Amino acid sequence: MKVSVDADRCRGHGACLGLCPEVFTLTDSGYAEAAAGAVPAHLEDAVADAVSACPESAIVIE
Ligand code: F3S
């Protein structure tokens, strides 16, 4: 699984950071970005939770 944040949709709500801080970080501009590369298997459920929790539907699983 790979994941990314659509910068055009993210509004900085931060739910993703709370659910999976190992993958999602906040940029200096206040929006989220996802770590590059494959999501470790043990974090896939947390990433899926973040996808569901984002109110802007900004997180995309590739
Ligand atoms: Fe942005 Fe959604 Fe996370 S709006 S900060 S990707 S919860």
**42 in helix, strand or coil?**
helix
> Which atom number of ligand 1 is nearest to the Cα of residue 59?
6
Q: How far is residue 26's CA from residue 14's CA, in Å, rounded to a whole number?
A: 8
| Residues sharing a CB contact under 8 Å with residue 15, sequence separation 6 or more, in sequence order | 50, 53, 54, 55
pLDDT in tens, 5-62: 999 999 999 999 999 999 999 999 999 999 999 999 999 999 999 999 999 999 999 8
Provide the whole-model pTM. 0.94
**Which residue ranges form the domains of the chain, and what is each CATH number?**
3-61 (3.30.70.20)
Take atom 4 of ligand 1 and give the residue whose Cα is closest: 10
Token reading at 43: 């974090």
- Quote the ligand 1 centre to 39 CA distance (angstroms): 17
